[in-house]
Each structure stands twice: as structure tokens, then as C-alpha cells.
Structure 1
Amino acid sequence: MNASSVVGVILLAGSVLGVAPGAPAAPDLPEGLGAPASDTAEPSLPAGLGGEIEPEQTTEKPASAALPFWLRGFWEARGGSRLNDDPHQRDLSIAETRLQLEAEKYFQGATVRLTGDFLYDDLDDDRAVDLESGEGAFDLREASLVFSPSADTDVKLGRQILTWGTGDLVFINDLFPKDWVSFFIGRDVEYLKAPSDALKVSVFSSWVNLDLVYTPRFDADRFIDGRRLSFFNAGQGRLTGRNAVVMTDRPADAFEDDEWAARLYRNLGAYEVALYGYDGFWKSPAGAEPASGKATFPPLSVFGASLRGPMGPGIGNVELGYYDSRDDTDGDDPTVRNSELRLLLGYEQEIARNLTLGLQYYLERMDEYEAYQRTLPPGAPVRDENRHVLTQRLTWLTHSQNLEWSLFLFYSPSDRDAYLRPRMVYQVDDHLSIEAGGNLFFGAQEETFFGQFQDNNNLYLGVRYGF
């Protein structure tokens, strides 16, 4: 399945819903980039994962009022320690300070935005800047140009944070890069989303809206490779870390190793329905070269759909996606991950004043499971055909909503493992906040997804000053 096929399916679905190219449109920009709002709404996402954030409306003059452009940012420091003795890692899990500056300049018909983090990471072995991995003394989060060539079309070009879908820290049709290392060591949740170097075109109409994203060179996840977090190394059959860093063969040819992603969405009353398509590669390593042992990113196509809206006193959502692993359609290649069907059911409700409960059920069902079992190398751990995960988020706001208590639990009854994320944030004043939290893993076996990270249990503390 190639990129044109993915886009063709999305456009065909648009015609079924009654939209034709060139239909009348109302201008909109879903990610808060200053365009007029439309009558369609993006689903809400966890704090820090909702795309761009507009500056608050206030009569107070910003600190950057004397500058020829709008400027804001923050300084923060974070430190954390492991709770377990890991022979393959340092005792500290995080020890860093960063200054983020976000500059924005409005021109007639266009907006330029630059966001960069100046970072000192005491645990970084090599402080040379690497914009792909986000390591080094500088991480470029955004460098984009936004303009509207017509009343019904918006274009965003350059480095940007992209997100869509309905899950809460569970992603199915969001095939944009994630930073799993940041997520597990205690950085702010906004750093779970890594930047993409892409072109995004959004077309709006009174019937349906289309987002089309083209990434000319594959943007992989910032995945776990052993340098900061230990994990189960299937090639060695044991837990490894800094003693056996993963080497990869990554698709890296511009305009050849590219990615396409599309979303077609509209509101039906109070409900938002969406169709998705993706053509590219597995975002984290999902294959291996037998000769060299290098991890690979096999070709991948994804087709999916979602529905989100009111359900009783709360908000419900359902999302599904089919992952077509194109190099292993028969499931008999043990060096490439099989195709999968993924399903997510979610519900969120305020169960008491300032107390919100969110529940999710997530399923990964492997295709061609018998072929997978038949060709599995002797002694290799066997995955279940169905992996079930339950999640629960509790959020409680106290002290005039200045203190947020959060507890997020992932539990897999099939893998018999779990991941617990306690977190507390106190907003001291309009500028200063203090955060404390942890990443706690449990598992009966070291080869399961959460069980492999038990040696990485950590607690962290952070302070942030925004301006």
C-alpha cells in the first residue's frame, strides 16, 4: 500500500460523506494558530499534548512589549533518582535545567514561530546538538511558517508538534513521533510529543474537514535504546542498558523515505467522527537485520477511525486502527513485527467537585498468530495474540485549584504488569510552579512491556518559572 492509496481512501470517504473538492468552506485553524474558529472542535487532550497554546488574553502588557516580536518562555530545573539498583545505568534518572524561548512574529498573511530549548543535561554523555534525538545543548521544538493561501485552506510548513486522535496517553492513529525516554524519566508530559519536520495542509468546508501531513524524511520516535533506560533485549534474552546500546538502520533518504498522514473529520451533532490514514514506517524499531543485528523500521500503513462525544454524564470515545506491516503480510517473518488490529474505548467524567475520573480499555490483536508461533526462534519469549491494557486517570484539584493531584495507572491483565504515574503540581503564583512525581513499574516477567522497566523506577522533583 503506497501513500497515494492511503490518501485516496481518505478522499473517497469524503465523497461518501457528501463532500466534493472545492466545496464552500469556513476558515479555521484547529491548533490555535490565530485563525478564526470554525464550528468543528478538536478533541481535548492531556495537558501539554494539545498542540499550540495561545497566549492568555490579558490587559497586562507582556514583558516582550518593547520587542518587534512576541516572546514568552520558561526556565525549569529537574532532578530525580532511581529507586532500584540497576547495574547498567546511573543512580540518577534525571538531572537537567532548561530555558525555553518561544518567539512569534505576525506578518500580513503569515505567522513565523520559533521555539527552542537551551538545555544542560548532566547525564548526557555527548553534548553535541542532535536535532533528531533532541540531545545536546539545544533542542529545536518548532520553526514554522503559517499562512492561508485561500479562505478555506491553512498551511503550516516546517518543524512543528503534531497530534490527533482521542486517547489519553494511548495512541493509535497518531503516528507522529513520541519521546518515550522523556516520558519515563520525569520530564514534563509536553515532551512526550517530539517535533516533526513536515508540511501540514488543512482544508475546511461546511461538510467535512481534511488535514494532510507530508513528512519528506522519516521522523522516528525518540525510542528507548539503553542509554538512559534499561529494557529487555530480545536479541540477548536479558535486560540491558548502557552496556548494549541499540544500533539501528534508519530510513533516512529525503523524499524517498517519506511519510503521509491524513485525517478526515466532521461533527455530527455533539459528536466528532474522524477517519485516518498513514503511510510510512513503524515509528520505533519493529524489525531486525539478521546479519548485522541492527534494529530496523519496517514499512507500515495504518487505516483507522474514531468517534468522540457525550455519553451519559461524561465524555466517551472509541478509536480503532489496522496496522498493516507491509514487509510481513503473512506473519511468517520472525525479524519483522506482524500486522495488528488496535482498539481503544474511553470514558471520562467529573465524579465529584474538582475530581475527574478517566477510564480506558486498549487492545492489540496480532494478525497471523499461528504463523508467528510457527516461525518464532527457539527460546524467544512468546507474545500473546491479544494484549489487553486498562488505564485509569484520577485528577483532583485543591487549594483553589492551584494544587493538582494526578494518578495515572496502566495495567495489563494479559501481561500481568503495570505502570503507575503519580504526580503533584502546585502553582505558587502566576509564574512559579513546583512539580513532584514518579514512574513506577511492576511485572511478573522481565520480557513484558512494563515489566522490563522495573529497574528504572524513579522519583523526580521539578521547579518551573514562566514568563
Structure 2
Amino acid sequence: MRMKFLVLLVWTCALMGGEAPFGFEAHGFFDVRAGFRLQNDATQRDTSLAESRLQLDLNRMGEWTTLQIRGDAVYDDVIDDRDIDLETGRGWFDLREANLLFSPNRSMDVKVGRQILTWGTGDLLFVNDLFPKDWQSFFSGRQTEYLKAPSDALMMSFFPSFANIDLVYTPRFDADRFIRGERFSYWNGNLGRRAGRDAVVAVDRPDRWVDDGEWALRISRTIKGYELAFYGYDGFWKSPAGQDPVRGLATFPELRVWGASLRGGFGKGLIHAEFGWYDSRRDRDGEDPTVGNGEIRVLLGYERELAREFTLGVQYYLERMLDYENYRASLPAGLVGRDRNRHVTTVRLTRTAMNQNLTLSLFGYASPSDNDFYLRPSVSWKVTDAWQVFAGGNLFGGSRDHTFFGQFEKNSNAYGGFRYSF
């Protein structure tokens, strides 16, 4: 109740044009969204999205430090559980950021606390960005910014003359907010069918402080207009990639990733390329069917403006499983296996009009190897500086129930809503 009272107090101060308590600057928005399924799913409700969200963003800048607190008060009618869980984002309150930024010297920045972290070059495809994602938000029609889930971390940035260096330490593993079954149905390999609320995924999540921590490193430099970066990660698979067959729990095996990226101008557009080697440390030979195999991931992309206020972006993405022969040999009888290679192509079309107040967008994924797809059409209209209305959809399809996008076919949905910013 105290938190609810503080949220309402700060919101009232912001709307009245006054200064928030304790010298903070207050900004935020009130967002209402509703969505419905386009297909019947016996394991889920017909409503895919029904929520009201109040976000408050509080900033206090001092001479040497900046303090930021950003959180959402949420009424979510799709999920019955109202108890707050800051790790999974469930409940009536989601703390997005609560961090302190300071600079010990001119060549170093430090940010400590809850923060949104992202790096890499992909457009809604991720190779070396091993920070948590919220796939439930992404598939339901929330703003794209909610795809990035928060991390509780220490980030240190160094700026020597030869490169920029970012080092992130997360003292306790931050997993993805992955598809569990309570909001969207998914392919359950143990049951051999799609499942949802009738078989919510139970997990054994690494949750010890320090012992189950994560490290992420990025070293970047711009050379003749091209940004070159190298990455390292040591932690766990961000979504479940293993099984504990005795307890019937999904697990997060140890993972180490090394990668690189390149981004810069090419012709009349921009190109980007990214590579990642996923070392599944618990089973490097691929002989344990309860642990996900290592992979090589490759991403290539190009973006350019085709006409005034009309932009095209295309990408090619590859996941190639390592030790594939051992994987096939160890696969239990009757269990549907993966292909060695998963190919994905994406297209983004963006058209703006009315002084860029109207935005029409289509983002599409298509996998020729899985023979499935995912389309994200959307339209948004900025009525005034404060008011915005929008509508869109999440459309899935595929010829097989167990492929990545095909498993979500019955989750196809349409949504709409409005936002008031202050």
C-alpha cells in the first residue's frame, strides 16, 4: 500500500506541473491496451492482452551522480496472480530501473543497480546481446521497448585512447522472461503437443548470489567509419535449454559465448554483421540429450531509405548446431529433434507521414528451414505531443507444431490502445 500511495503521489505532482518529491524530475505515461486471439486455443483465454499501465520515470541529477528510478504500476487482467515478482515481471508493479550513475574520473563511468542493458547490431535478432529479454511482452503487443527486461548489475565503462571497454557483472543470474504457458501456449516436447495453462513450465533457475553470477564484456573501436566490436559472456543459457528428467524441471545450463560485430556505411545504406560461438559448457561433446548443444550464430543485415520517409531493412540469421551427430545419436526415441541449421530472414518496412506523426510498420520473420513465419504489422498515430493511439498484430504460422514460430500459431493476436505521456 505504501508503494501504491507513493506512485499516486508522484504521478499527481507530475500532472500538476510541480516538481516531484526529493528534487526528482518526473516523467511518464499512462498506457491502456487490449488484444484478442485470432484462433481458438483450448489451453488459453481468448483475451491475449488487457492491461492498464502507469509508468513513472524519476531522475535526480547531482554534480557528480545521476539517480534514476523507473517503474510501472500495472493492472493485468490476463494473469490471475497479482503478487509482485520483480524477476519475472509478474504482479501489479514492475521495477524497470533503479540505478546510480557516477564517474570516478574522466575515462570511466560506473552504473550500479537495476538497469536496461543492450548491445550488438541486430534488429530484433540477437547474437551477442546476452542480457534478459521479455518474450511475453514482445508477443503480446506491448511497446517494443519492453522486449528488453531489466538486469540487476554493475556496469563499468572505460574510455582509453585505443578502444571503449564495457564490463558488466551480474551477481545473480537474470533469466529471460520466457514463454512459460500461463499467457501463451508452446510446444511441450515431453507431452508431444502444444501446452499452455495446463502445463506451465517449472524451472530450476540458478539463483545463488555470486556463485550464479554472469560476466559480459564488450571492446569496441571505430576504424574509418566502421564500428568493430568483440564480445565475451560467461553465465547461463538465458531461456531454458536443458532438462532435469528426475524432477521434471527445465534448466539453464552453463554457457560461454565469444563473438564479434561490424557496423558501418555501405553504398546508400548501413550494413551490420555479427558472429557468436556458443559454448555449452556442461556438455561440450553434445552427448547429453538433457543439455542444449553448442552453436555457431551468424547475422548479416542491410538497411537503407528507398524513398523519402520509407525505409527498408533486411537480415539473414543462422543458428548451426555443433556436434550434431552426437545429438542425433543421443536423442531419446519418440522425441522430435532439431535440424542442424536454422535459417531465418527478416524484412522491416517503415513508412512515416503527416510530419512523422503517423508511422506504418511491418516487421516479418521467415524461416525456410523450419517453414514457419512471424509477422508484426503496426500503425501508430501521434495525435498530439501527449496523446498517441496505435494498433497492430502478432501473426504466427508454420507447417509443423514444434518449430520456433510454428509452435505459437494459436497465439496469433490483434491489439490496440492509447497512451498519454506527461
TM-score category by the smaller chain?
over 0.9
Quote the residue 1:366 is aligned against.
Answer: 321
Whether 2:12 is the aligned partner of 1:63: answer no
Quote the residue 1:198 is aligned against.
Answer: 153
Quote the residue 2:345 is aligned against.
Answer: 390
Quote the residue 2:357 is aligned against.
Answer: 402
String of CA shifts for 1:7-56, please: whole Å, max 9, x gaps.
xxxxxxxxxxxxxxxxxxxxxxxxxxxxxxxxxxxxxxxxxxxxxxxxxx
Residue 66 of structure 1 deviates from its aligned partner by 7.2
Whether 2:312 is the aligned partner of 1:357: answer yes
SS at match of 1:183: helix
Among 426, 433, 442, the residue aligned to 2:388 = 433
Q: How does 1:149-164 map to 2 (within 5 A)?
A: 149-164=104-119
SS at match of 2:133: coil
Among 247, 262, 268, the residue aligned to 1:307 = 262
Quote the residue 2:144 is aligned against.
Answer: 189
Is this contact kept in 2: 1:156–1:201, CA < 8 A? yes
Whether 2:57 is the aligned partner of 1:102: answer yes
String of CA shifts for 1:427-449, please: whole Å, max 9, x gaps.
00101001100000010000000
Among 115, 135, 138, the residue aligned to 2:90 = 135
Cα RMSD for the two superposed structures = 1.1
String of CA shifts for 1:243-293, please: whole Å, max 9, x gaps.
000100000000100000000001002110000000000000000001111
Among 444, 449, 452, the residue aligned to 2:399 = 444
SS at match of 1:321: strand
Quote the residue 1:294 is aligned against.
Answer: 249
Is this contact kept in 1: 2:35–2:416, CA < 8 A? yes
String of CA shifts for 1:314-342, please: whole Å, max 9, x gaps.
00000000000001100111000000000
Residue 65 of structure 1 deviates from its aligned partner by 4.7
SS at match of 1:243: coil
CA distance in 2, matches of 1:231, 1:221: 16
Q: Percent identity?
A: 59
Whether 2:275 is the aligned partner of 1:320: answer yes
Whether 2:74 is the aligned partner of 1:74: answer no
Amino acid at match of 1:85: N
Quote the residue 1:211 is aligned against.
Answer: 166
Query: Structure 2 unaligned runs (5+)?
Result: 1-15
- Of 115-124 and 355-364, more deviation after overlay is shown by 115-124
CA distance in 1, matches of 2:126, 2:385: 32
Amino acid at match of 1:181: Q
Amino acid at match of 2:270: I
Is this contact kept in 1: 2:255–2:281, CA < 8 A? yes
Quote the residue 2:39 is aligned against.
Answer: 84
CA distance in 2, matches of 1:134, 1:65: 29
Among 205, 215, 219, the residue aligned to 1:264 = 219
CA distance in 1, matches of 2:20, 2:253: 51
Quote the residue 1:4 is aligned against.
Answer: none
Query: Structure 1 unaligned runs (5+)?
Result: 1-61
Quote the residue 1:34 is aligned against.
Answer: none
CA distance in 1, matches of 2:260, 2:105: 28
Q: How does 1:235-250 map to 2 (within 5 A)?
A: 235-250=190-205
SS at match of 2:388: strand
String of CA shifts for 1:112-154, please: whole Å, max 9, x gaps.
1000100001112110111011111100000000000111000
Quote the residue 1:453 is aligned against.
Answer: 408
String of CA shifts for 1:374-426, please: whole Å, max 9, x gaps.
11111111211110000000000012211000000000000000000000010
SS at match of 1:454: helix
CA distance in 1, matches of 2:174, 2:20: 37
Residue 63 of structure 1 deviates from its aligned partner by 3.1
Is this contact kept in 2: 1:182–1:192, CA < 8 A? yes
Quote the residue 2:234 is aligned against.
Answer: 279
Amino acid at match of 1:198: A
Quote the residue 1:122 is aligned against.
Answer: 77
Amino acid at match of 2:229: A
Amino acid at match of 1:322: W
Among 207, 223, 239, the residue aligned to 1:252 = 207
TM-score, normalization by structure 1:
0.86
CA distance in 2, matches of 1:335, 1:316: 38
Pairs aligned (count): 407
Is this contact kept in 1: 2:79–2:182, CA < 8 A? no
Is this contact kept in 2: 1:212–1:263, CA < 8 A? yes
Quote the residue 1:334 is aligned against.
Answer: 289
Is this contact kept in 1: 2:39–2:411, CA < 8 A? yes
Is this contact kept in 1: 2:20–2:26, CA < 8 A? no
Among 367, 371, 377, the residue aligned to 1:422 = 377
Is this contact kept in 1: 2:44–2:185, CA < 8 A? yes
SS at match of 1:96: strand
Higher strand proportion: 2
Quote the residue 2:134 is aligned against.
Answer: 179
TM-score, normalization by structure 2:
0.95
Amino acid at match of 1:204: F
CA distance in 1, matches of 2:20, 2:35: 38
Amino acid at match of 2:17: A
Is this contact kept in 2: 1:64–1:70, CA < 8 A? no
Residue 75 of structure 1 deviates from its aligned partner by 0.3
Amino acid at match of 1:317: H
Quote the residue 1:3 is aligned against.
Answer: none
CA distance in 2, matches of 1:65, 1:194: 29
CA distance in 1, matches of 2:286, 2:397: 30
